[in-house]
Amino acid sequence: MSEKNWSGNVAYGESSLQRPRTLDELQEVVGRATSVRALGSRHSFNTIAATSGTLISLDRLDSPIEIDSASMSVRVGAGVRYGELGAHLQQHGFALANLASLPHISVAGATATATHGSGDRNGNLATSVRSLTVVQADGSLIEVSRGDADFDGYVVGLGALGIITALTLDIEPTFDVAVSVFEHLPWSALDDHFDEITSAAYSVSLFTNWVNDAVDQVWLKQRVGRHAALGAGAGADAGSAGGASADAGSADAGAGADAVGDFFGARPSSVPLHPLPDVAADACTDQLGVPGAWIDRLPHFRLDFTPSKGDELQSEYLIPREHALAAIDALRALGHRIAPLLFVSEIRTIAADPFWLSTASGRDSVALHFTWKPQQPDVEALLPDLERALAPFGARPHWGKVFATDAAALAPLYDRLPDFVRLADRVDPTGTFRNPFLRATLFGA
Ligand SMILES: Cc1cc2nc3c(=O)[nH]c(=O)nc-3n(C[C@H](O)[C@H](O)[C@H](O)COP(=O)(O)OP(=O)(O)OC[C@H]3O[C@@H](n4cnc5c(N)ncnc54)[C@H](O)[C@@H]3O)c2cc1C
């Protein structure tokens, strides 16, 4: 029986699923196979992990989490999920710089696809990778580290360069975060104060359906208390700019929504909210400005609940930050076609990074995300028009979500794509790690 992804819209193919318990066993399986893909926690929405060959899950591989406080790093098995890693780090007084909206995803799967959270000064999750241990097509093991010639190609590798068995990540001292949610941000405020709004907290998310007369929700995630200044963007003085009086960013955040004023015309919510309208906030991490550990606030959703809607599809496009307002206008103009298929959209910011195939490679970026209703044919019919609207802005589709962009359209978006193809040809000359998705998007037939 074919394995399926988290949302159930992708069958991985009639492949044999292997779940090795030891590194030796894993190396033997890879060395023997002619076609292999690794599987993370299956949260991608397209066929990026699918294969008719051998599918490998690392969920049974013993993978201790080893913190090295002298070098401020942690070594983890590739299949570890951020939720478990975060709890362990927090217990020992450490943190990662940022997280995605959900803690359910594996470290290797998330970094391989350039998964990101939000924050003007925060790179995507792959930017915390210091080194990778990789099983190559012949079953041999290599270590690739920051500073090595091909490191920037390996980190966002889309599973095309081998099976990652372990990663070393940067860590920092633990910190607290307070989340405040505001409702009904006028579009004119976003137009006039975009930079102030996205820099008003360590991590900022805007939720919209493109047709309402305001941005429905603004989530401000502030670093607070001890170590708050470390790595924070505009953290400490958030909310004071542009006449906004929100004090959610101050070190004593947590006074609660009563003490919080408007934010560029948006009103503080006095109750916890789910990003999706009419969905109870039980699955969401705590809001109302109550500080808590980074692992319990940076993701929108709790590990022990279904994140987002559950029965859904997702697409997302990253554009250079300077085109944000024009791209938002283009999407609002398409709003009447987007909204009927949409649960919610999210706008986030991501700092540039050097990784060859990262969606934020070389550009400070704004991510335009769509949580779609599970109507795949209708969504797929809309995507070419949506992508045409975003094409003038150099929109790069998220590697793990639904998109229509083909290899010809992707090539000009990534300067280092030829280097990546050369690297893949060198380390995997027989194409062991290629699948139809990678051929359609990167390698050609
Ligand atoms: C509810 C929900 C919310 C989401 N929120 C966000 C978000 O906030 N930000 C964002 O950017 N994305 C988000 N995503 C997308 C998600 O983060 C990515 O699809 C990510 O790749 C999922 O990681 P995974 O472990 O499930 O990987 P999988 O989907 O299992 O695999 C993804 C890719 O990684 C490769 N891979 C996995 N493990 C290995 C390994 N050991 N070695 C080599 N290659 C490997 C696979 O072969 C495949 O190519 C969300 C998805 C869902 C379902």
What digits encode the pLDDT tens for the residues 205-215? 999 999 999 99
Token reading at 284: 């969401």
Per-domain residue ranges for the chain?
16-57, 66-173, 176-297
Q: How far is the CA of 256 from the centre of ligand 1 (A)?
A: 34
Residue 48 CB less than 6 A away from ligand 1: yes
What is residue 445's predicted lDDT score, i.e. its pLDDT?
Answer: 67
User: Is the pLDDT score of 247 beyond 70?
Assistant: no
Residue 238 and residue 232: Cα distance in Å, rounded? 11
User: Is the pLDDT score of 227 beyond 80?
Assistant: no
What is residue 1's predicted lDDT score, i.e. its pLDDT?
Answer: 53
User: Is the pLDDT score of 244 beyond 80?
Assistant: no
Residue 46 CB less than 6 A away from ligand 1: no
User: Is the pLDDT score of 269 beyond 60?
Assistant: yes
The third-level CATH classification (topology) of the domain covering 16-57 is 3.30.43
Residue 29, CA distances (Å) to 48, 208, 220, 336, 340 in order: 20, 46, 46, 50, 46
Residue 216, φ and ψ in degrees, nearest 5: -65, -45
User: Is the pLDDT score of 425 beyond 60?
Assistant: yes
Question: What residues does 425 pair with on adjacent strands?
Answer: none
Question: What residues does 106 pair with on adjacent strands?
Answer: 81
**How many CA atoms within 13 Å lie on the side-chain side of 159?**
31
Name the DSSP letter for residue 440: I
Kindly report the CATH number that applies to the domain delimited by 66-173: 3.30.465.10
Token reading at 366: 């704004």
Residue pLDDT, tens place only, 369-405: 999 999 999 999 999 999 999 999 999 999 999 999 9
Residue appearing with tokens 């101050």: 250
What's the mean pLDDT when you consider all of the chain? 91
Residue pLDDT, tens place only, 65-124: 999 999 999 999 999 999 999 999 999 999 999 999 999 999 999 999 999 999 999 999
Strands 396-397 and 267-268, how do they pair? unpaired
Residue 61 and residue 80: Cα distance in Å, rounded? 10
| DSSP calls for 246-305 | --TTSTT--S-GGG---BTTBEEPSS---SSTT--GGGBPP-TT--EEGGGTSSSB-TTS
What is residue 308's predicted lDDT score, i.e. its pLDDT?
Answer: 84
What is residue 229's predicted lDDT score, i.e. its pLDDT?
Answer: 44
Mutate to test the pocket of ligand 1, among 63, 85, 99, 113 (most ligand atoms within 8 A of CB): 113
Token reading at 25: 């066993």
Q: Name the pTM for this structure.
A: 0.94
Residue 187 and residue 392: Cα distance in Å, rounded? 22
Residue pLDDT, tens place only, 156-209: 999 999 999 999 999 999 999 999 999 999 999 999 999 999 999 999 999 999
Residue pLDDT, tens place only, 122-164: 999 999 999 999 999 999 999 999 999 999 999 999 999 999 9
Say if residues 201 and 122 touch (Cβ distance below 8 Å): no
Residue 105 CB less than 6 A away from ligand 1: yes
297-301, 308-312, 337-341: least confident range: 308-312
What is residue 259's predicted lDDT score, i.e. its pLDDT?
Answer: 52
Q: For residue 278, with 0-12 CB atoms within 10 Å meaning exposed, 13-18 middle and 19 or more buried, which class applies?
A: exposed
Which is more confidently placed, 401 or 242? Answer: 401
Token reading at 306: 């279904």
143-147, 271-275, 316-320, 335-339: least confident range: 271-275
Q: Which CATH architecture has domain 176-297?
A: 2-Layer Sandwich (3.30)
Q: How far is the CA of 344 from the centre of ligand 1 (A)?
A: 20
Domains 66-173 and 176-297 share a fold: no
Mutate to test the pocket of ligand 1, among 30, 39, 358 (most ligand atoms within 8 A of CB): 39
Residue 27's SS3 state is helix
